[in-house]
Amino acid sequence: MHRHHNGLKTAALFGALWAVLLILGGLIGLGTRSATPVLIMALVGVGTTAYGYWNSDKIAIRSMQAYQVSAADAPHLHHQVRELSQRANQPMPRIFISPTATPNAFATGRNPRNAAVCCTQGILDLLDDRELRGVLGHELMHVYNRDILTSSVAAAVAGVITSVGQMFLFFGGSRNSPNPLAVIATALLAPFAASLVQMAISRTREYDADEDGAKLTGDPLALASALRRIEHGVALQPLPRRQDLVNSSHLMIANPFKGGGMAKLFSTHPPMQERISRLEQMAGPPRR
């Protein structure tokens, strides 16, 4: 399993959140000649830090409108996750299903004992058993590599920063005449939030989860086939670019949106063809 100093990354995310909030509070304080905005932003920072840590899994689950399923509800899915968890000698996460038709999956939570794996109905309908097992192996290795806290907190941080920017849009002005300084801050905050997620969630972790997941299942070609079908399925039925979905999209096994232009520039996912090629190389040359 791989390690990516995720404790340091999480601390850096919280530090970045605090810095942005306090800077915005300071800018508003200069305009109003009051220290109150800084104090308000400090309280927001404390609240969002605590909320992001304890509820990071709920934020992503809620954005996908997912619901938890028991072994009775989804026996085959539970069996596959249980078998892979036992093979890894690790705790079994909770299992959720999102009703969306877009094929995707993700893992979230603050540690392996408080983790969740979510599959969309689209991916359950699209993949065969072997391919689904490959995807589940990938997601479980995100859990067991302990990078899901950083991923989940990144989603919360991006959402808070964007929300604060929208709130400041009308701070000190009216709806018909917004504060010019706040307008500029808001225009910069959305791409900054996306950049923050991209910097915090290295594309390397996707390659590592692919590699470790393939080792866990013993079948790299199954995951390669699944990624190829998922990419095609997303192209046919992408998710809408709602802000809550954008903030959680880096958790998913594949970019859930139509890519291109600036969206591709800020993508946290490595090129799908490169991932597939690496998995095919792991499998070695085809047998004759």
| 139 flagged as catalytic | yes
**Per-residue pLDDT tens for 4-33?**
566 676 677 667 766 776 776 676 666 666
Q: How far from chain centre, in Å, is Cα 166?
A: 22
Q: How confident is the model at residue 140 (pLDDT cuts 50, 70, 90)?
A: very high
Looking at residue 79, its pLDDT comes to: 97
Mean pLDDT computed over every residue of the chain: 81
Tokens 């909030």 appear where?
21
* Percent of the chain residues topping a pLDDT of 70: 64
pTM of the model: 0.77
> Residue 193: exposed, middle, or buried by beta-carbon count in 10 A (0-12, 13-18, 19+)?
buried
**Nearby residues of 246 by Cβ (< 8 Å), 6 or more positions away:** 158, 194, 257
The first and second tokens of residue 25, run together, are 């509070």
What was the pLDDT predicted at 23? 73
pLDDT confidence tier of residue 244, bands split at 50, 70 and 90: confident
CB neighbours (10 Å) of residue 94?
17
Q: Supply the range of the domain harboring residue 103.
A: 1-288
Question: Which contacts (CB < 8 Å, 24+ apart) does range 75-80 have?
Answer: 76/129, 77/119, 77/124, 77/132, 80/129, 80/132, 80/133, 80/136
- Alpha-carbon distance 239 to 263, whole Å? 13
Active-site residue identified among 139, 206, 211, 274: 139
Per-residue pLDDT tens over the stretch 86-124: 999 999 999 999 999 999 999 988 788 889 999 999 999
Q: φ and ψ at 95, to 5 degrees?
A: -120, 135
Of 143, 90, 88, 137, which Cα lies nearest the Cα of 115? 143
Distance (Å, whole) CA 58 – CA 52? 9
Spatial CA neighbour of 134 closest among 5, 254, 4: 254
Report for 199-203, 231-235, 282-286: range of highest mean pLDDT: 231-235
How many structural domains is the chain composed of?
A: 1
For the ranges 115-129, 240-254, 262-276, the one whose mean pLDDT is highest: 115-129
| pLDDT at site 92 | 96
- The secondary structure element, H or E, covering residue 10 is helix 6-32
- What mean pLDDT is predicted for residues 27-40? 68
> Which band of pLDDT confidence, cut at 50, 70 and 90, is reported for residue 224?
very high
Does residue 284 surpass a pLDDT of 60? yes
